[in-house]
């Protein structure tokens, strides 16, 4: 921005002045005893209200019969109602027969899937992963902290690889996956990734599908959590990984996940998994041991509410109208307060739930602490990396969806003050060392 000098070109005196000014601002904010939260990647009340009709859409026994005549109030059907599968099939471009409609959280489905691999192995008669010694997963980073927590909990070693603006660094992924049979999988959030908001290019999707990993029992955990979560009218294209997998004969490598948590009600939505026929053949009997089936009344509720994929898309346009101003506000405040100083950069996502913010290396933890002292809670620095270790201590995940605009503005302004303060502190320290 014109008239602004990068901090790296400032004198000790100028940095000292910034320190004093920004500290004074922060002290003023602190006196207000604010409690502002930028951690929660969850829908706000206005978004939830868009789905309120679902609460009464099933009100009678007559609403409970599936098109096959099945009474959804009773036992029966493990893999999902045909009409619910059809809805997801149309929405996500997946063959209906590849879809399982499961519980209320895709995180739960991913956890169960990994545990199943650990206990029973994958299709093909391979040893369970837990009997193969130390196993490893490739973790494009920054990424979704809960993927990393699952690996950590199950004792799976995580190998971070760089996430570029078009997907994971595939040279790194190939080097690791194709040389080491103890590498059993990769986490992918292919569209509006958490927290970067990037979408994999067709080339990257193809390369992932075409990969011939050293482990014959390798699996791609394709977490398409934000498949229909555009913030703007133009649809952001993501290639269908199963199309490329079919061309390469690798359909069995793919485990696909999605949910309606950020479409209808988190915790009261539907999670799905899609996989090849052979994978499903192995998985379904194990699920049958685990449960009598999932909530079919909720599956009916979703079908009656949306009717078809266009119903979901229309609903998501209404959600976007609520979310867009929040993302734009954060980006505007960042531009106004930070641009031109060369002390931070951030993503401008076209969808999803997060803005990824990068501060000067070595400053993210300090920014987190300063913000907390002024009443703004951020997701802890480091959480977006395996083991909570950001090698640069630079990335922060901002979740603008839940707070109202009136809270979001001061929270973002406070954050900018903290960034200036932490950067000035760091640069002064470096200057005084010399
Ligand atoms: C990438 C990603 N996957 C999965 C989830 C969780 O989804 P669910 O609510 O279906 O468990 C989230 C939620 O933040 C997410 O960001």
- Give the CATH number for residue 282: 3.40.640.10
Ligand 1 pocket check for 261: Cβ under 6 Å: yes
Indicate which atom in ligand 1 lies nearest the CA of residue 354.
Answer: 16
Instruction: Specify whether 114 is located in the same domain as 238.
Output: yes
Rg of the chain in Å (alpha carbons): 23
> Encoding tokens for residue 344?
């931070």
Mutate to test the pocket of ligand 1, among 107, 148, 188, 384 (most ligand atoms within 8 A of CB): 107
404 falls within a domain: yes
Q: How many domains does the chain have?
A: 2
Instruction: Specify whether 290 is located in the same domain as 350.
Output: no
Last residue of a domain, one of 307, 337, 360: 307
The predicted pLDDT at position 112 comes to: 98
> Encoding tokens for residue 37?
């939260």
Ligand 1 pocket check for 224: Cβ under 6 Å: no
Please give the average per-residue pLDDT across 240-247, as a whole number.
98
Last residue of a domain, one of 282, 307, 332: 307
Instruction: Specify whether 187 is located in the same domain as 266.
Output: yes
**Reported pTM:** 0.97
232 falls within a domain: yes
Cα gap 6→47, rounded to integer Å:
40
Asked if pLDDT for residue 144 goes beyond 90, the answer is yes
Cα gap 121→117, rounded to integer Å:
4
Whether residue 283 contacts residue 78, with contact meaning beta carbons closer than 8 Å, is answered with no
Cα gap 352→341, rounded to integer Å:
28
Among candidates 112, 161, 100, which has minimal Cα distance to 136? Answer: 161
Ligand 1 pocket check for 271: Cβ under 6 Å: yes
Q: Look up the CATH number of the domain holding residue 32.
A: 3.90.1150.10
Instruction: Specify whether 168 is located in the same domain as 237.
Output: yes
**pLDDT tens per residue across span 321-335:** 999 999 999 999 999
215 falls within a domain: yes
Quote the ligand 1 centre to 106 CA distance (angstroms): 6
What are the distances in angstroms from CA 165 to CA 28, 47, 199, 263? 38, 28, 7, 25
What are the distances in angstroms from CA 132 to CA 119, 126, 143, 153, 271? 11, 10, 26, 17, 30
Instruction: Specify whether 272 is located in the same domain as 375.
Output: no
Asked if pLDDT for residue 1 goes beyond 70, the answer is no
The predicted pLDDT at position 274 comes to: 98
Ligand 1 pocket check for 102: Cβ under 6 Å: no
Average pLDDT, the chain: 97
Instruction: Specify whether 35 is located in the same domain as 152.
Output: no
Cα 369 vs. chain centroid, distance in angstroms?
24
Cα gap 361→79, rounded to integer Å:
48
Please give the average per-residue pLDDT across 379-388, as a whole number.
97
Query: Who's near 402: CB < 8 A, 6+ residues apart?
Result: 37, 40, 41, 42, 43, 44
Asked if pLDDT for residue 288 goes beyond 80, the answer is yes
3-state secondary structure 163-223: EECCEECHHHHHHHHCCCCCEEEEEECCCCCCCCCCCCCHHHHHHHHHCCCCCCCCEEEEE
Instruction: Specify whether 288 is located in the same domain as 379.
Output: no
**pLDDT tens per residue across span 212-241:** 999 999 999 999 999 999 999 999 999 999
Cα gap 76→431, rounded to integer Å:
70
Asked if pLDDT for residue 433 goes beyond 90, the answer is no
201 falls within a domain: yes
Indicate which atom in ligand 1 lies nearest the CA of residue 193.
Answer: 1
Ligand 1 pocket check for 194: Cβ under 6 Å: yes
Residues of the domain holding 186: 66-307
Ligand 1 pocket check for 41: Cβ under 6 Å: yes
Strand order in the sheet with 355-359: 344-346, 355-359, 395-398
Q: What percent of the chain has pLDDT over 90?
A: 97
Indicate which atom in ligand 1 lies nearest the CA of residue 271.
Answer: 10
What are the distances in angstroms from CA 432 to CA 15, 387, 424? 12, 33, 12
Indicate which atom in ligand 1 lies nearest the CA of residue 269.
Answer: 10
Ligand 1 pocket check for 266: Cβ under 6 Å: yes
pLDDT category of residue 34 using cuts at 50, 70 and 90? confident
Indicate which atom in ligand 1 lies nearest the CA of residue 258.
Answer: 10
Indicate which atom in ligand 1 lies nearest the CA of residue 189.
Answer: 1
54 falls within a domain: no
Cα torsion angle, 384, 388, 389, 393, sign: positive
53 falls within a domain: no
Which residue, judged by its Cα, is nearest atom 12 of ligand 1?
225
Instruction: Specify whether 252 is located in the same domain as 202.
Output: yes
Last residue of a domain, one of 307, 335, 352: 307
Q: What percent of the chain has pLDDT over 70?
A: 100
Instruction: Specify whether 264 is located in the same domain as 394.
Output: no
Cα gap 140→167, rounded to integer Å:
8
φ/ψ of residue 14, rounded to 5: -65, -40
Instruction: Specify whether 297 is located in the same domain as 416.
Output: no
pLDDT category of residue 346 using cuts at 50, 70 and 90? very high
| Cα angle value 18/23/26 (rounded, 5°) | 130
The predicted pLDDT at position 358 comes to: 98
**pLDDT tens per residue across span 184-210:** 999 999 999 999 999 999 999 999 999
* Region class of 33: left (phi > 0), else alpha (psi between -120 and 50), else beta: left
Which residue, judged by its Cα, is nearest atom 16 of ligand 1?
194
Mutate to test the pocket of ligand 1, among 111, 140, 146, 151 (most ligand atoms within 8 A of CB): 146
The set of long-range contacts for 316-321, using a CB threshold of 8 Å and a minimum separation of 24, is: 316/228, 316/229, 316/230, 316/263, 317/233, 318/50, 319/43, 319/47, 319/50, 319/229, 319/263, 320/230, 320/231, 320/232
Ligand 1 pocket check for 364: Cβ under 6 Å: no
Instruction: Specify whether 271 is located in the same domain as 372.
Output: no
74 falls within a domain: yes
270 falls within a domain: yes
Whether residue 96 contacts residue 89, with contact meaning beta carbons closer than 8 Å, is answered with yes
Among candidates 145, 115, 142, which has minimal Cα distance to 129? Answer: 115
DSSP for 114-159, written as a single string = HHHHHHH--TTTPPPGGGSSS-EEEEEES--HHHHHHHHHTT-EEE
31-35, 113-117, 324-328: the lowest-pLDDT one: 31-35
Quote the ligand 1 centre to 112 CA distance (angstroms): 14
Instruction: Specify whether 292 is located in the same domain as 386.
Output: no
Ligand 1 pocket check for 223: Cβ under 6 Å: yes
Indicate which atom in ligand 1 lies nearest the CA of residue 41.
Answer: 14
Cα gap 278→185, rounded to integer Å:
18
Indicate which atom in ligand 1 lies nearest the CA of residue 42.
Answer: 14
Ligand 1 pocket check for 187: Cβ under 6 Å: no
Please give the average per-residue pLDDT across 5-29, as a whole number.
96
Helix, strand, or coil (residue 350): coil
Q: Are strands 36-37 and 271-274 parallel, antiparallel or unpaired?
A: unpaired
pLDDT category of residue 434 using cuts at 50, 70 and 90? confident
């Amino acid at each position: 921005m014109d008239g602004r000098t990068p901090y790296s070109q400032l004198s000790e005196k100028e940095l000292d002045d910034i320190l004093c000014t920004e500290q004074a601002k922060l002290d003023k904010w602190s006196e207000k005893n604010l409690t502002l939260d930028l951690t929660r990647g969850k829908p706000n009340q206005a978004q939830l209200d868009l789905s309120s009709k679902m609460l009464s859409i099933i009100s009678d026994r007559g609403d409970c019969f599936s098109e096959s005549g099945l009474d959804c109030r009773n036992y029966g059907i493990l893999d999902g109602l045909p009409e619910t599968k059809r809805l997801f099939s149309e929405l996500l471009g997946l063959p209906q027969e590849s879809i399982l409609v499961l519980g209320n959280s895709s995180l739960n489905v991913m956890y169960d899937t990994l545990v199943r691999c650990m206990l029973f192995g994958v299709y093909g008669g391979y040893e369970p992963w837990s009997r193969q010694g130390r196993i490893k997963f490739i973790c494009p980073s920054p990424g979704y902290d809960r993927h990393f927590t699952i690996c950590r909990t199950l004792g799976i070693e995580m190998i971070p690889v760089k996430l570029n603006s078009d997907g994971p660094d595939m040279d790194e992924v190939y080097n690791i996956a194709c040389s080491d049979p103890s590498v059993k999988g990769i986490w992918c959030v292919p569209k509006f990734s958490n927290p970067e908001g990037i979408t994999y290019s067709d080339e990257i999707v193809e390369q992932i599908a075409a990969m011939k990993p050293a482990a014959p029992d390798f699996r791609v955990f394709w977490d398409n959590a934000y498949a229909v979560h555009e913030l703007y009218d133009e649809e952001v294209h993501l290639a269908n990984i199963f199309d490329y997998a079919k061309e390469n004969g690798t359909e069995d490598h793919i485990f696909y996940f999605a949910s309606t948590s950020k479409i209808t009600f988190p915790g009261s939505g539907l999670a799905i998994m899609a996989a090849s026929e052979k994978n499903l053949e192995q998985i379904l009997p194990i699920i049958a041991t685990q449960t009598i089936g999932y909530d079919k009344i909720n599956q009916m509720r979703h079908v009656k509410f949306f009717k078809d994929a266009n119903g979901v898309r229309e609903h998501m346009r209404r959600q976007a109208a609520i979310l867009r101003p929040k993302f734009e506000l954060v980006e505007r405040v960042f531009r106004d307060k930070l641009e031109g100083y060369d002390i931070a950069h951030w993503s401008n996502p076209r969808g999803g739930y997060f803005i990824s913010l990068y501060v000067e290396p070595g400053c993210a933890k300090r920014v987190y602490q300063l913000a907390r002292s002024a009443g703004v809670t951020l997701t802890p620095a480091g959480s977006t990396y395996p083991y909570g270790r950001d090698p640069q201590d630079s990335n922060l995940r901002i979740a603008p969806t839940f707070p109202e605009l009136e809270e979001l503005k001061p929270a973002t302004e406070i954050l900018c003050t903290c960034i200036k303060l932490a950067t000035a502190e760091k640069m002064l320290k470096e200057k005084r060392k010399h």
